[in-house]
Amino acid sequence: MKPEHKHRVTPSYVTHLNDNEIFVFGSNIQGHHGGGAALDALKNFGAIMGQGVGLQGQSYGIPTMQGGVKDIKPYVDEFIAFAKAHPELKFLVTRIGCGIAGFKDKEIAPLFAEAAKMENVYLPAGFWEVLDGE
């Protein structure tokens, strides 16, 4: 990981958020937040059962369970546009798609290449390693 990215790494496990922080998690399109980071978002950060996409309390859902990487990309692009429109917020992106959905960091991280340039978006260490070519 490049030194300039070390200050923008999402912790492996997020237990608490400051008022301006948003927990970004992988969801399913139906918004059934039954496991992994989605369940954490539901229990701790305001995710709404039945809402699979977008801002929900202090969380933001990106659907990852509805197909391949090409099916996830439009939702990541939507998230990036949202994050650009809200520079006052700090987005802590989890390893979306790399748990229950079964993708690898090297498959999902490239979707966040544009977000990596944004100071208000924090990414998992594994995503940074892929994006930095390590």
Domains of the chain with bracketed CATH: 8-131 (3.40.220.10)
Estimate to the nearest angstrom the gap between the alpha carbon of 110 and the chain centroid: 13
In the chain, which residues have pLDDT < 70? Answer: 1, 3-5, 134
Model-wide pTM > 0.85: yes
- CB proximity list for 63: less than 8 A, separation 6 or greater: 26, 27, 28, 29, 52, 53, 72, 75
pLDDT score at 7: 81
Confidence at residue 59, expressed as pLDDT on a 0 to 100 scale = 98
The answer to whether the CB of 111 falls within 8 A of the CB of 133 is: no
Place of tokens 């990596």: 116
DSSP single-letter state for residue 123 = B
